[in-house]
Each structure stands twice: as C-alpha cells, then as structure tokens.
Structure 1
Amino acid sequence: MPATETFRIPKRRRHVPTARQHIRKALADWGITDELADAVLLSANELVTNAVTHCRTSYAQVKVTLTLDGRELLLEVCDPDRDRLPRTQDSGPDEEGGRGLALVGELADTWGHRQEPYAKCVWARFTLTESMARAHVPAAL
C-alpha cells in the first residue's frame, strides 16, 4: 500500500517555504534524506513556485501530493487554472526565469502534466534504487 502525504497552501509566494517544509518532513518521515530528497525538494520548489506564479484563479489553493509506492516517488502539484498548461522555455543566459521545468526534467526520471475537470496537475516521478527502497519503507506500512 503506498504512503501518501497531501496538503494545500494558499496561492501566494510567501507560502512556498511552507510547502518545502511539509515535503521535507514527509521525506524525512519516510527516511529519505539523501540526494533524492534534495532533488524532490528542488523540483517541488520549482513546481509550487510555477503554480503560485502562473495560476490566474483568484483566491486559489495549490494542492501538493507526495506518494511513495515501492521504488517510485511521485510528486504532484495541482492548481485550479486547468487551461494554462506548463511548457518549457528556451531562456537566454541573462534571463532570470524560465528554467524551472528544464531543471525538473533533469532532476526527475520523468515529468508531465494532466488536466482534470477543475484543475491541472504537474507531476514529477523519481525512482529509488533497490537498496534505497528497502531502507526507506515508511513506518506506517
């Protein structure tokens, strides 16, 4: 049975650190504190920042879900602006933004997005090594 941690934050930049804290705690509770945790945290920071920055729905909340299922860790960030889909950009060396999804693409094994009836979700999937999966079995399982 997979372990899941889900929470919501208001769509405000000042709440991005709160999302990182929730994710860091969930990963630590599952025993994931190594390079994988760093990759997940950095990816989450990018995806949550994109959600709070680009969602055009007023007074929205961003939903973050982490799921650990065997050797697979799935990060999902959902917001109610279902028609504004993510896209990678070619950012010049002097541009300050536009590299977040490329970074997620480098850190995660795979990433993508899906549209739901009232939301869009951007996800990133990470694979634990065999030894990591055995060592990081959630205590609740």
Structure 2
Amino acid sequence: MPETETFRIAKRKRHVPTARQRIRKALADWGVTGEPADTITLLANELVTNAVTHCRVSHALVEVTLTLHGPDLTLEVSDPDREHLPELHHSGADEERGRGLALVEGLADAWGHRQEPFRKCVWARFTLPERQEATRVPAGL
C-alpha cells in the first residue's frame, strides 16, 4: 500500500521553507535519509518555488504530494494556473535564475507535467536505492 503525504501552502515565497520542512519530515518518517532525501528536498524546493513565483492566480494554494510505493517516490506540485506550463530553460553562465527545471531533469529519474481540469501538476519520480534493497526478498524464501 502506498504511503502519501499531501499538504497545501499559500502562494507566498515566505511559505516555501515550510514546504521544505514538511517534505523533509515526511521523508524522515518513511526512513528516506541522506543523499536521496537531500535531492528530493532540493527538487521539491525548486518546484514549489516555481509554483509560488509563476502562478498567476491570486490567493492560490500550492499543493504538494509525496507518494512512496515500494522503492518509488513521486513528488507532485500543483497550482491552479493550468494555462502556464513549465518550460525547460537553458540559462547562460551569468544568469542568476532559470536553472530549476534543469536541476529536476538532471537529478530526477523522470519528470513532467500534466493539465487537469482546474490545475496543472509538475511531477518528478525517483527510485530509492536503499528501499529497493530493503524490499528485495531474501534468497530461499
């Protein structure tokens, strides 16, 4: 049975650290620590920051969902601005912004987005190596 953690934050930059803390806590509760937790938290920070920064719907809520199913973890960040889909941007060396989705593309096993009737969702998937080992059935059983 998958484990899921879902929460919402107001579309305000000051709430991004709260999202990061909630994600870190959920991962720790599931035993996801170390480098995988750091990577997932970093990418969640990028996706939440993008939603907060680029959503053009006033007084919106950004929804974050983590789903852990065996060794697979899916991170989803949704907002109600379904018409403005994320685009991968190749930043120049002197640009200070615009590398978030490049990080997601480089560090997640897969990522993408989907339009739903009243929102868009940007997602990233990860396979957790230590959970893959932990879920393996010992030989001879």
> TM tier, shorter chain?
over 0.9
Using the TM superposition, give the Cα deviation of residue 106 of structure 1 relative to its aligned residue in structure 2, in angstroms.
Answer: 1.0
Question: 2:90–2:102: 8 Å Cα contact kept in structure 1?
Answer: no
Cα RMSD (Å): 1.1
Amino acid in the other structure paired with 2:74: L
Structure 1 residues 30-109: aligned runs within 5 Å: 30-109=30-109
- Give 1:132's aligned residue: 131
Paired residues, number: 135
TM-score by length of 1: 0.93
Moved over 3 A (4+): 133-136
Query: Could you list the runs of 5+ residues in structure 1 that have no partner in the other structure?
Result: 137-141
1:15 match: secondary structure: helix
Query: Could you list the runs of 5+ residues in structure 2 that have no partner in the other structure?
Result: 136-141
TM-score by length of 2: 0.93
- Give 2:7's aligned residue: 7
Structure number with the bigger relative contact order (C-alpha 8 A, sep ≥ 6) is 1
Q: Larger Rg: 1 or 2?
A: 2
Percentage of matched positions with identical amino acids: 71
